[in-house]
């Protein structure tokens, strides 16, 4: 770890202010990389007038493929969907009690949770501005409930700071706001902002900072009854002859800066995490289930695609029926093809598309990701620590702990997300066996929640680079790769067009998959009509 001077430098202070007040800048940067774009969905699609007898084959029964299938069937096309798995929904996937699956390497992952407890293996939360997802969930009757992203009672944790003791999120938020206000008030008082504000504005700004940061009459952020009303109390106000209230003590500025905890606050200000967020009642897989139900008669399950061939008149898809281990070879033929197979898999298949398209397909790597869910005998985070929903962040390899937003105050076993990370932090967990992942999550998590060993009941996990049908979590775009390859990847290549979250400006989100499916269906419909 890089050494940090005890006295904060100007750069550190500016960085701190930027982390607190710079959510807009961070969101713009994330938008550039394609992670935080707001949905462009405005209304449902009404395609009409398919050419008589026109047919479309769709590869993959994830949300992109099923969105396209649903809309194109309404337009009058004959639609067939081939799906590798024995279910639809793709990465809109919930690992429920009693489920099991086999990952690459042959390890069988089981979910031995009590009925009703689950792990969302892929997506786990829905921003309220992802209008396409919300449209179809309402249309298909998927019940929603709030997902709690931010909870002041959850923790921020650093192994090498505060003796490893986790700090309440709300305490850190209040302290950052207080110290930033104090620093700005000093800048105002010494004339550092003379060019920006006049005398009258200075007075108003100082009063605003005093209230916003809970500063005393000398514009200092120090422990007081007022600060206690924002960051909490060591002894809370009581009744009768109970002990007098004692406000909690702010974290010293130097310690706060050196810990870097304030950098975690941006997790709660990015646009995609703004309240109110939602989750389907019973797990994210309910969305995939609903799409599957609406498109059921079009879907052929257990269909492993081995070759995709196109000519000027149509597309032939060679696949194997893996149901029951029969491995029966079959061929499906259609006028057009929408392919939503993840690029990690598609680039390994025999597909005759143009050279530019093949280059674009090979230019998009997929990020790694892991999730470990842990079931405990009771909701100790609620009963012992007053944590109801929300996310704890840590610099340990588990990265974060997310507490369930449903069934609060209930008795009996409950599951939380005991680890979730991307990129380099996920390599360790990807290399472990399923049992080792659970053991690692428990070993790390007990430093935040000492109740872990005593209360643990069962665990399960998903590591996306070991999932055979995706070989990764989601497509990664850089600004340069998007400029060079994105339009080509999304173009109609003779009779074949790709769709999926990787063909969107919102990769890694279900909204990106749905919008890609809608756009692809619309463009292919226009092409099909013009080809008649």
Q: Any idea what the CATH number is for the domain that residue 378 is in? A: 3.90.660.10
Tell me if the bond preceding 276 is cis, omega within 30° of 0. yes
Same domain membership, residue 280 and residue 376:
yes
Report if residue 38 sits inside a domain.
no
pLDDT tens digit string along 136-195? 999 999 999 999 999 999 999 999 999 999 999 999 999 999 999 998 888 887 776 666
Q: In the prediction, which pLDDT does 37 show?
A: 52
Same domain, 438 and 518: no
Looking up residue 240, the CATH number of its domain turns out to be 1.20.1440.240
Q: 281: closest CA among 268, 272, 290, 293?
A: 290
| Per-residue confidence band for 124, with pLDDT thresholds at 50, 70 and 90 | very high
Using the predicted structure, report yes or no on whether residue 211 has a pLDDT greater than 80: yes
Q: Which of 26-40, 111-125, 251-265 has the lowest mean pLDDT?
A: 26-40
Q: Are residues 384 and 281 in the same domain?
A: yes
The Cα 97–Cα 285 span in angstroms is 13
Question: What would the pLDDT profile of 402-456 be if each residue is shown by its tens digit?
Answer: 999 999 999 999 999 999 999 888 999 999 999 999 999 999 999 999 999 999 9
Specify if 20 maps to a domain: no
Same domain, residue pair 319 and 211 = no
Boundary residue ending a domain (466, 485, 515): 466
| Helix axes 479-490 and 510-530, enclosed angle (nearest 10) | 40
Are residues 461 and 371 part of one domain? yes
pLDDT at 21 over 60: no
Query: According to the model, what pLDDT value does residue 192 have?
Result: 64
Q: Distance between terminal CA atoms of the chain?
A: 65
Whose structure tokens read 């598309």?
353
What range defines the domain where residue 175 resides?
A: 169-250
| Structural domains counted in the chain | 3
Query: DSSP assignment of 383-437, as one string?
Result: HTT---S-EEEESSTT-EEE--SSSTT--S-EEEEEEEEETHHHHHHHHS-HHHH
User: Is residue 267 assigned to a domain?
Assistant: no
Residues 6+ positions from 443 with CB-CB distance below 8 Å: none
DSSP codes of every residue in 320-332: EE-GGG--EEEEE
DSSP 504: S
Looking at residue 262, its pLDDT comes to 81
413 within domain boundaries: yes
Residues 179 and 246 in one domain: yes
Q: Are residues 281 and 398 in the same domain?
A: yes
For residue 491, pLDDT over 50 is answered with yes
Whether residue 23 is contained in a domain is answered as no
Mapping DSSP to helix (H, G, I), strand (E, B) and coil, where does residue 123 land? coil
438 in the same domain as 312 = no
Q: Two tokens at 138?
A: 């309402």
Between 12 and 284, where is the model more confident? 284
> 206 and 132, same structural domain?
no
Mean pLDDT of 320-341: 90
Q: What is the CATH number of the domain that holds 511?
A: 3.50.50.60
pTM: 0.88
In a domain, 401, yes or no: yes
Domain boundary among 466, 488, 517: 466
Same domain assignment for residues 281 and 395:
yes
Co-location of 481 and 360 in the same domain: yes
pLDDT of residue 268: 86
Residues 192 and 138 in one domain: no
- Whether 41 is covered by a domain: the verdict is no
Q: 435, 466, 497 — which closes off a domain?
A: 466
Taking the C-alpha atoms of residue 109 and residue 408, their distance in angstroms, rounded to an integer, is 28
Does 26 reside within a domain? no
């Amino acid at each position: 770890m890089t050494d940090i001077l005890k006295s904060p430098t100007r750069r550190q202070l500016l960085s701190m202010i930027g982390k607190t007040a710079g959510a807009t800048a961070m969101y713009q940067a994330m938008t550039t990389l394609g992670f935080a774009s707001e949905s462009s969905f405005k209304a449902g699609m009404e395609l009409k007038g398919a050419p008589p007898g026109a047919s479309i084959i769709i590869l993959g029964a994830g949300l992109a493929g099923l969105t396209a299938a649903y809309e194109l069937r309404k337009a009058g096309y004959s639609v067939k969907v081939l799906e590798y798995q024995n279910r639809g929904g793709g990465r809109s996937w919930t690992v429920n009690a009693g489920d099991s699956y086999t990952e690459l390497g042959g390890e069988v992952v089981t979910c031995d949770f009590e009925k009703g407890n689950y792990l969302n293996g892929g997506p786990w939360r829905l921003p309220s501005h992802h209008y396409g997802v919300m449209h179809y969930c309402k249309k298909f009757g998927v019940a929603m409930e709030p997902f709690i992203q931010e909870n002041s009672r959850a923790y921020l944790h650093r192994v090498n700071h505060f003796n490893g003791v986790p700090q309440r999120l709300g305490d850190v938020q209040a302290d950052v706001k207080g110290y930033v206000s104090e620093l700005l008030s000093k800048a105002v008082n010494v004339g550092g902002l003379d060019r920006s504000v006049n005398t009258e504005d200075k007075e108003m700004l100082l009063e605003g900072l005093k209230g916003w940061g809970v500063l005393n009459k000398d514009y200092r952020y120090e422990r007081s009854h007022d600060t206690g009303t924002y960051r909490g109390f060591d002894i809370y106000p009581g009744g009768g002859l109970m002990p007098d209230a004692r406000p909690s003590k702010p974290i010293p500025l130097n310690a706060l800066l050196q810990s870097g905890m304030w950098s975690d606050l941006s997790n709660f200000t990015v646009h995609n995490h703004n309240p109110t967020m939602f989750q389907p009642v019973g797990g994210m897989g309910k969305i995939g289930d609903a799409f599957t139900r609406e498109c059921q008669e079009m879907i052929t399950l257990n269909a492993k695609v081995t070759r995709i061939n196109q000519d000027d008149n149509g597309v032939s898809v060679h696949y194997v029926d893996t149901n029951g281990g029969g491995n029966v070879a079959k061929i499906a033929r259609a006028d057009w093809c929408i392919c939503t197979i993840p690029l990690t898999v598609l680039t390994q298949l025999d597909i005759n598309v143009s050279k530019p398209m093949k280059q674009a397909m090979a230019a998009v790597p997929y990020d790694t990701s892991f999730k470990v869910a842990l079931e405990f005998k009771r909701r100790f985070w609620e009963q012992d620590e007053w944590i109801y929903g929300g996310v704890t962040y840590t610099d340990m390899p588990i990265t974060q702990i997310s507490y369930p937003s449903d069934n609060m105050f209930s008795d009996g076993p409950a599951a939380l997300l005991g680890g979730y990370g991307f990129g380099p932090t996920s390599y360790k967990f990807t290399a472990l066996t399923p049992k080792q992942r659970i053991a690692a999550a428990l070993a790390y998590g007990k430093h935040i929640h000492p109740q872990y060993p005593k209360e643990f009941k069962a665990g399960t996990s998903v590591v996306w680079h070991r999932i055979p049908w995706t070989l990764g979590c989601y497509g990664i775009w850089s600004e340069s790769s998007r400029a060079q390859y994105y339009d080509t990847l999304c173009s109609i290549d003779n009779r074949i067009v790709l769709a999926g979250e990787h063909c969107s400006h919102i990769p890694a989100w279900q909204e990106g998959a749905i919008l890609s499916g809608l756009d692809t269906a619309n463009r292919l419909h226009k092409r099909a009509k013009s080809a008649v």
